[in-house]
Amino acid sequence: AQSVAQPEDQVNVAEGNPLTVKCTYSVSGNPYLFWYVQYPNRGLQFLLKYITGDNLVKGSYGFEAEFNKSQTSFHLKKPSALVSDSALYFCAVRDRGRGSTLGRLYFGRGTQLTVWP
């Protein structure tokens, strides 16, 4: 069964410092991995995804994520945090199976990122 763990409910970081939001996953076979961001009272917005190839994926707003197959992790990173990055971040995984379950995502519980000035 597919599952995603985000071990930290909250991450606090000072503006200008690097940030990391952690994600580990469990899936049979090779996964597709996604990061989404949710601002208050809004829907989820896509940030980036890992499909195949380079383990370092670059996405929107200066975010990047590193896929580590041996550690089954897909941590979200940004070299220099902004106050405007404060939001709820979700990691999601899906398998590569075909058929009617194609496209189904499994989400982590979310990590609240707070960047203070």
Partner 1 sequence: NAGVTQTPKFRVLKTGQSMTLLCAQDMNHEYMYWYRQDPGMGLRLIHYSVGEGTTAKGEVPDGYNVSRLKKQNFLLGLESAAPSQTSVYFCASKGLAGPTEQFFGPGTRLTVL
Find the shortest distance in angstroms from Cβ 92 to partner 1. Answer: 8
Nearer Cβ to partner 1, position 13 or 93? 93
- 47 is written with which tokens? 């940030």
Beta bridge mates, 66: 56, 75
Query: Does residue 100 touch partner 1 according to CB under 8 A?
Result: yes
Largest CA distance in the chain: 48
Q: How far apart (Å, rounded) are the C-alpha atoms in residues 62 and 43?
A: 20
Dihedral angle sign, alpha carbons of residues 30, 6, 34, 64 = negative
Rounded least distance, CB 26 to partner 1, Å:
15
Contact between 103 and partner 1 by CB under 8 A: the answer reads yes
Minimum CB distance to partner 1 smaller for 70 or for 100 = 100
44 binds partner 1 (CB under 8 A): yes
